């Protein structure tokens, strides 16, 4: 049986978080520094949380940079926002794919996300998605996205006691950055146009696979042969 590893992005891939990450960061920044719209010139899609927050510190000339305190407040704000269970939408087809069992291949799902771990787990909780992801790597663990995905792969391998063949490792995400990090690591990329970028734009970055959405489970599973 073929062992397959899929490293999942969160925002725009598993869920439509409707900007809750940005809104929670803006609120946390306001609580700490009394500054509004601190992230308005900060690009977030596909980037690591720690980089995003450091950019906001730079742009707002913050000298006293306690990023751990910032993330504590961010997580509290995020949790409060997501008491409304309908705030976040799970993207079509995601649950069916995560639930799928196969006779021909064994798929293991890991997280590889720019979110810090606590933030990621808060975002996945309303739709009960945490149970599908025993391991992952997160946005406060690396400088570059590919390093974070590399950690996710190492953790999945350690967890399962398997060295995955590179051609059976996939990274799935909604931005060009997800595609680029797959290329750096020599693994396969699945781009899905349910988030930040259109299919036309994603195509320019030449992903191995490009899907409009994850709604068609069979089309998705067709990737693995």
Residues that bind Mg ion (CB under 5 A): 9, 11-12, 174
Neighbours of 84 (CB within 10 A): 10
Q: Nearest-CB residue to Mg ion?
A: 12
Nearer to Mg ion, 75 or 115 (CB): 115
Whole-angstrom distance, CA of residue 123 vs CA of residue 130: 9
Shortest distance, position 138 Cβ to Mg ion, whole Å: 13
Q: At its nearest, how many Å lie between Mg ion and the CB of residue 175?
A: 5
* Structural contact between residues 177 and 113, judged by C-beta atoms closer than 8 angstroms: no
- For residues 185 and 192, which CB has a smaller minimum distance to Mg ion in the complex? 192
The nearer residue to Mg ion, 107 or 196, going by C-beta atoms, is 196
- Min dist. Cβ of residue 127 to Mg ion (A): 16
Beta bridge partner(s), residue 214: none
Nearer to Mg ion, 62 or 122 (CB): 122
What is the smallest separation between the CB atom of 162 and Mg ion, expressed in angstroms?
26
Cα dihedral 104→108→113→119 (10° resolution):
130
12 vs 93, beta carbon nearer Mg ion:
12
Q: Tell me the closest approach of the beta carbon of residue 10 to Mg ion, in angstroms.
A: 6
Q: Give the sheet arrangement for strand 2-8, strand by strand.
A: 136-137, 105-112, 2-8, 169-173, 188-192, 209-211
Instruction: Give the list of residues 6+ apart from residue 36 with CB closer than 8 angstroms, or none.
Output: 26, 30
């Amino acid at each position: 049986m073929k062992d397959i590893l899929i490293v999942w992005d969160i925002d725009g891939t598993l869920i439509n978080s409707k900007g809750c990450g940005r809104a929670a960061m803006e609120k946390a920044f306001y609580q700490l520094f009394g500054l509004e719209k601190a992230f308005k010139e900060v690009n977030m899609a596909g980037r690591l949380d720690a980089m995003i927050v450091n950019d906001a510190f730079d742009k707002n000339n913050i000298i006293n940079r306690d990023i751990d305190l910032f993330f504590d407040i961010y997580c509290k704000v995020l949790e409060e926002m997501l008491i409304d269970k309908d705030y976040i939408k799970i993207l079509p087809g995601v649950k069916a794919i995560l639930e799928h069992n196969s006779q021909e291949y064994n798929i293991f799902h890991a997280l590889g996300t720019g979110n810090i771990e606590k933030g990621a787990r808060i975002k996945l909780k309303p739709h009960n998605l945490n149970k599908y992801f025993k391991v992952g790597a997160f946005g406060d663990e690396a400088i570059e996205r590919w390093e974070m995905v590399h950690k996710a792969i190492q953790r999945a391998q350690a967890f399962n006691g398997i060295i995955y063949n590179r051609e059976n490792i996939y990274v799935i995400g909604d931005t060009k950055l997800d595609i680029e990090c797959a290329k750096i690591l020599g693994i396969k990329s699945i781009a899905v146009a349910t988030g930040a970028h259109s299919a036309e734009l994603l195509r320019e970055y030449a992903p191995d696979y490009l899907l409009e959405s994850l709604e068609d489970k069979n089309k998705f599973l067709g990737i693995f042969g």
